[in-house]
Chain A
Amino acid sequence: MAENNNFPKSWKKSSKPHKFCPGCGQSLALKNLGFVIDELQIADKTVYACDIGCSLLTWDMFEIDTIQTHHGRVVPTMVGFKLAKPSAITIAFMGDGGGYAIGAQHLINAAMRDDPITAILINNANYAMTGGQMAPTTLVGQKATTAPNGRDWQKVGKPIHGPEMLAEIAQEGSYIARTISTDIADCKTKIRKALQNQIDGRGFSFIEIISMCPVNWHTDALQSLDFSEKEMTKVYPLGEFKCPQKLA
């Protein structure tokens, strides 16, 4: 059978099609992650941890060793794994609730301690698995089931800027960036850097990936692209907020 160049080798065939909703941006991001793992030839030494919420749908997405937990605890789980086995490449994959709300202390302290793991966070501006509640990343005015009139910044504050915040805390040698799932090239480049930084033994690596959630946004394909690429990037600029010289 001919090789399918559009299917990462590190993806598990038996668990496809993947479990995400149609139009979700996460599968694009994770396909890129799969391709990067293939290119770096690290599948046999990579451990991938996924969190609660939509991210748990990836517990058997890869043909690599994986673990699933909740509430942003993917970060300490991978920090502990890396400490015990420094030769492993550890990936902590989570959503904006796990990383920026219920488990925010883990990301902040991992950045401060310069824990040599790669954390990947999906920002889709809502809590998706539970049905579209307000997240720390929900835009001002954006409706959510727990913000029926839209996010009122005077009552609940403005959206969190995760990479910008972590870049303030992180040590030299950290790689911290924001990308978007629909810009395949940019997304792949940044995932690659976030993993290369760990392979090089430099330090903490973090990328936030802006992603689409048509089901909870109640948007069609074009509106989803518009909201993520135009509205979200206005609030969440793409870029590298900390990049070691050797990766630049």
Chain B
Amino acid sequence: MNKELLTGNQAIVKGALASGAQMMTGYPITPTTEILENWAEEAAKNSNLNFLQTEDEMSAGFSMIGGVLAGLKTFSATAGPGNVLMQDALVMAESMRLPTVVFINQRGGPSTGTVIYSQQELNLTCFGGNGEGLRIVYSVGNPQEMYDYAIKAFNTAWRYRFPAFVLGDGYSAKTLTEVETYSLEERKIERVSSAPYLLGEDNSSGSVNLRNTYNLETELNTLLMKHKMAFDGFTSEIVEFDDYQTLGAEIVIVAHGNIAISAKCAIDILKSEDEKVGLFRPITLNPFPSETLRSVVQKKKLIVVIESSLGQFERMVKENLYGENIPMVAIKKPALGINPDEIVERVKDFLKEMNG
């Protein structure tokens, strides 16, 4: 174990290296560019690592798929309008059950938007493309988590063969702070291996012809139902959340990523003033920890959803709590950060209203 001074983007590259990533394809976009630059530096020093700066994010996505088909753990990183373009390749990976890892550091949207922060790429990352959202999305909130979940994303993608994402933001990506780095061996984490899909060693059963087009509606339907069953089958193995002080709380804040970390600080302040407030933070946004959230909010007086988007996360929470009859309010600030003091203030207002 080492303690290093790293930015979130540097931590992502270190995590990718620790987990055995062998190739990166990408196109520069703020706030993920340093991932590309740092990997380019690593690849310049180590001939076992491959790197390609592509002409756009579609090419980045499809050349990533090329690397995966050839058997290398290949990844990319993007944001905003780049995330939009890359969805073309990512739904192909979803449809063909190819493992991919993409780091998304959210910037403000819609469109070009702003360059550094938002939580507005939730819909796109969880459900982007003309597919059904069969993908694994980890929402992270600081550089340490970027390191930890980089490692986890590669293992999850290659174990279950669905696209995996680490959804961060520019604040976390650009923050320079202490990060604990470690090898998989010292933490006894298994490194899931990678094998080629095409030109593999075993060609005893003839050639492999992979397609992405189907003649009949029933053919595609059967395939999708099979994928869905596989996805649902491992959901309980990978679903992750953080439950902070919800036992005995009257109010449960539901937030993810950077905002969940801000909310945690707010809860510590509120606790010191004897307010009964807790936090439920989904770490996997897809699949969503719905059963746990449902049990956590039972008999609570109020759910407070907080997000740096205009209801993308609130919709997700509502969908997963469908049928529960618990009052819900939301703090929605698209493309803006929300600091702990503001959360403290707003929660106190809610408490005042609630207790008349």
Which residues of chain A have a CB within 8 Å of any CB of chain B? 12, 44-45, 47, 52, 56, 59-60, 62-71, 73, 75-85, 88, 105-106, 108-109
Bound state CA distance, A132 and B196, in angstroms?
38
Instruction: State which of B71, B74, B88, B210 has its C-beta within 8 Å of the C-beta of A67.
Output: B210
Instruction: State which of A47, A67, A68, A105 has its C-beta within 8 Å of the C-beta of B56.
Output: A105
Q: How far is the CB of B158 from chain A (nearest CB, A)?
A: 15
Bound state CA distance, A81 and B52, in angstroms?
11
In chain B, residues 54-111, which have Cβ atoms closer than 8 Å to a Cβ of chain A?
54-56, 58-67, 69-72, 74, 88-89, 92
Q: Which residues of A contact B50 (CB under 8 A)?
A: 83-84
Q: How far is the CB of B102 from chain A (nearest CB, A)?
A: 14
Q: A76-B58, A77-B65 are in contact. List 17 more A-B contacts (CB 8 A).
A: A12-B207, A56-B211, A59-B211, A60-B209, A64-B207, A65-B198, A67-B212, A68-B213, A76-B54, A77-B63, A77-B69, A84-B50, A84-B71, A88-B199, A106-B55, A109-B54, A109-B55
Asked if B203 is an interface residue, CB under 8 A from chain A, the answer is yes
Instruction: State which of A12, A62, A73, A83 has its C-beta within 8 Å of the C-beta of B58.
Output: A73
Interface size class of B (residues with CB under 8 A): 35 or more
Q: Which residues of A contact B213 (CB under 8 A)?
A: 52, 56, 59, 68
- Which 5 pairs, one residue from A and one from B, show the smallest C-beta to C-beta distance? A80-B66, A80-B63, A84-B70, A81-B66, A109-B55
Q: Which residues of B contact A45 (CB under 8 A)?
A: 199
Asked if B25 is an interface residue, CB under 8 A from chain A, the answer is yes
Asked if B233 is an interface residue, CB under 8 A from chain A, the answer is no
Q: How far is the CB of A234 from chain B (nearest CB, A)?
A: 33
Contact B66 A60 (CB under 8 A): no
Contact B62 A84 (CB under 8 A): no
Residue of A nearest to B210 (CB): A67
Instruction: State which of A66, A78, A108 has its C-beta within 8 Å of the C-beta of B66.
Output: A78
Q: How far is the CB of B211 from chain A (nearest CB, A)?
A: 4
Tell whether A68 pairs with B210 under 8 Å between CB atoms, given A84-B74, A85-B199, A105-B56: yes
Residue of A nearest to B51 (CB): A83
Contact B23 A106 (CB under 8 A): no
Contact A106 B59 (CB under 8 A): yes
Bound state CA distance, A77 and B62, in angstroms?
5
Contact B208 A66 (CB under 8 A): yes
Contact A84 B72 (CB under 8 A): yes
> What are 20 residue pairs bridging A and B, where the CB atoms are less than 8 Å apart in the complex?
A45-B199, A59-B211, A59-B213, A65-B199, A66-B198, A69-B92, A73-B62, A77-B63, A77-B65, A80-B25, A80-B63, A80-B66, A81-B67, A83-B66, A83-B67, A84-B67, A85-B72, A88-B70, A109-B55, A109-B59
Instruction: State which of A68, A105, A109 has its C-beta within 8 Å of the C-beta of B212.
Output: A68
Residue of B nearest to A12 (CB): B207
Residue of A nearest to B206 (CB): A63
Residue of B nearest to A15 (CB): B209
Q: Which residues of B contact A85 (CB under 8 A)?
A: 70-72, 196, 199
Contact B52 A79 (CB under 8 A): yes
- Chain A proximity mask over B210-230: 1 for CB below 8 Å, otherwise 0: 111100000000000000000
Bound state CA distance, A108 and B56, in angstroms?
12
Bound state CA distance, A80 and B60, in angstroms?
9
In chain B, residues 1-49, which have Cβ atoms closer than 8 Å to a Cβ of chain A?
22-23, 25
Contact A80 B206 (CB under 8 A): no
Contact B210 A66 (CB under 8 A): yes
Q: Which residues of B contact A64 (CB under 8 A)?
A: 207
Contact A76 B62 (CB under 8 A): yes
Q: How far is the CB of A76 from chain B (nearest CB, A)?
A: 4
Q: Which residues of A contact B62 (CB under 8 A)?
A: 69, 73, 76-77, 80
Contact A70 B66 (CB under 8 A): no
Bound state CA distance, A105 and B58, in angstroms?
10
Instruction: State which of B61, B67, B88, B208 has its C-beta within 8 Å of the C-beta of A65.
Output: B208
Residue of A nearest to B50 (CB): A83
Q: How far is the CB of A213 from chain B (nearest CB, A)?
A: 20
Contact B92 A83 (CB under 8 A): no
Instruction: State which of B65, B66, B71, B92 has its C-beta within 8 Å of the C-beta of A82.
Output: B66
Bound state CA distance, A109 and B348, in angstroms?
57
Contact A73 B89 (CB under 8 A): yes
Tell whether A63 pairs with B207 under 8 Å between CB atoms, given A52-B213, A76-B54: yes
Q: Which residues of B contact A108 (CB under 8 A)?
A: 55
Bound state CA distance, A158 and B83, in angstroms?
34
Contact A59 B209 (CB under 8 A): yes
- Chain A proximity mask over B174-211: 1 for CB below 8 Å, otherwise 0: 00000000000000000000001011000100111111
Q: How far is the CB of A204 from chain B (nearest CB, A)?
A: 14
Contact B59 A66 (CB under 8 A): no
Contact A80 B74 (CB under 8 A): yes
Q: How far is the CB of A72 from chain B (nearest CB, A)?
A: 9
Q: How far is the CB of A57 from chain B (nearest CB, A)?
A: 9
